[in-house]
Structure 1
Amino acid sequence: MTNIAFIGLGIMGNPMAVHLANAGHTVAGLDRSPERSAALVAAGGRAASSLADAVKGADVICVMVPDSPDVQDVLEGENGVFQLAETGALIIDFSSIRPDVTQQLAEQAQALGFRLLDAPVSGGEAGAKNAALSIMVGGAEDDFAAAKPLFDVVGKTVVHVGPSGSGQTVKAANQLIVAANIQAVSEAVVFLEAYGVDTKAALEVLGGGLAGSTVLNQKKENMLSRSFEPGFRIDLHHKDMGIVTAAAREAGVVVPLGALVAQLVASARANGDGGLDHSALLRGVERLSGLEPANGQAG
């Protein structure tokens, strides 16, 4: 069994850390909100008192925090992982951040005697709770092989997609596809409702045809009930769409639909919906259609 430090016990990190503890690994969890460690402790893990405490003796250090600056702070900041962890430790960054930042951190890690994998995940809160995440991994083949047993504990589809930064590039593409899907489903729901169709029945039959998708299956109930308890917040998808558009521009790739959806996500955030689930893009379609969004709250 492996000694694991898990940094970041939010919506995604918490159930992932619990799965690792349930699998018999020794897991020390750390979060800015100490109360988030309760589920991990109940599963046999422990709540670390500091980053130094978390990484002491850790063979593997998992990171699941919101954005590029957060990962940089955890790894290369003063009293960060690069200073405190034992040389040779394997660092798995499950966060979704900029590919160029990942490449820079991987170079630093290698120079300091660490191994780093970028392993962003897709599947939302449901995927994390059900250990059914899709994990796209960038880094060295040997490091991926070493981490594969841990990935298999928290994920269902685990694929090594290339060298450092590749996982983050694939995750950016994932977020482009997901946001476009959510926007399309949102528009379909408002369109169907305008004609008085039995929307639940309509989405059921649409889900069985070519229009069917994981997004439709997972998000239709949120939209039908106007319940937007965050499984993945619009704030985070806004960050991810910024990564998509910036990386596309850097590569000279044109993503017109991506640029439009990025603006729609930004609009939702500007209208106060940043803390809601990304299925709340439906509320933006309602606003544009002259309708009063039915529910401004999560849940």
Structure 2
Amino acid sequence: MTTENSGQFRGIYGIPATPFNEDESLDIRSLESVLEFSVENGCHGIVMPVMASEFQSLTDTERKTIFDFTTKIVNGRVPTVAGISGISNVHSIELGKYAEGAGFDSIITMPPANISKSSAAEVLTFFEQISNAVNIPIWIQNHDRGTPLSASQLAELCENIENVSYVKEETTFAGQLTSDLLGQAGDSVKGVMGGMGCKFLVSEFNRGMCGNMPASHFGDIHSKMWNLLEYGDEAGAREIQTRMAPLNNYESLYGMRAFKEILYRRGVITSPTTRSPGKRNLDKYDLAEYDTLLASIDDLLVWKAS
């Protein structure tokens, strides 16, 4: 389900969490484990490191280490997308060049938003510079936390910049914006994927999106939903989407801490630690609720720790 005959990136492109030891140092052994898990559990592609990977907490040395381990572990089994969002044009360009050299199939980035958001002219210049620096496809990550772009702005970038051809759309009304974008841009946009943890996957598929980029802790469930949609079983996919709603609610509250709790419980990583600042903890009531919620979807979990 990864590609069509056209070579389109397609399916569930899972985002592995970046695992840390309890002292918040990078846990290399768990990094290898979560990458292997994300491929084995059915994800059609791997995206690393981006927001669900706590990319903003990583040093550049750590990001490059993650690039190297990602391509080494994935080893061409599924397409790879490198997260290169940075604090300046030069920063993202450096990361993009490194990722391409490490063997990534494409890169994804938000426009730089350091102290202030980028202007329209700055966004255009940024993507022109990135395109001139690499020879692989570029995804625009359109997110409210960065510099959100309209459908017409996205269409213009994809039409006029050679390597810019994919969008991850996750602004507030992502579905409507995607429909507008696909209507305006035609073939210049090779594909649009959603975010938000596959909460709206059925609707996204019906709007013509080519996939979704969720955190990979439920990659087996999300890939099953996508495969059902590709096979024409919307009712089956919708049933799973409905069953996942209570867990999605907790993810909306706790973010990366929730993703890591699941990975920890599934035996993938050795600690659910997230990095400071902004650490969120789960109390005994949250943990008890997770016991109940995970039990309710146990039959959907294909990957089991050996």
TM-score, normalised to structure 1's length?
A: 0.36
Q: Which has the higher helix share?
A: 1
Which structure has the greater CA radius of gyration? 1
Higher relative contact order (CA 8 A, sep 6+): 2
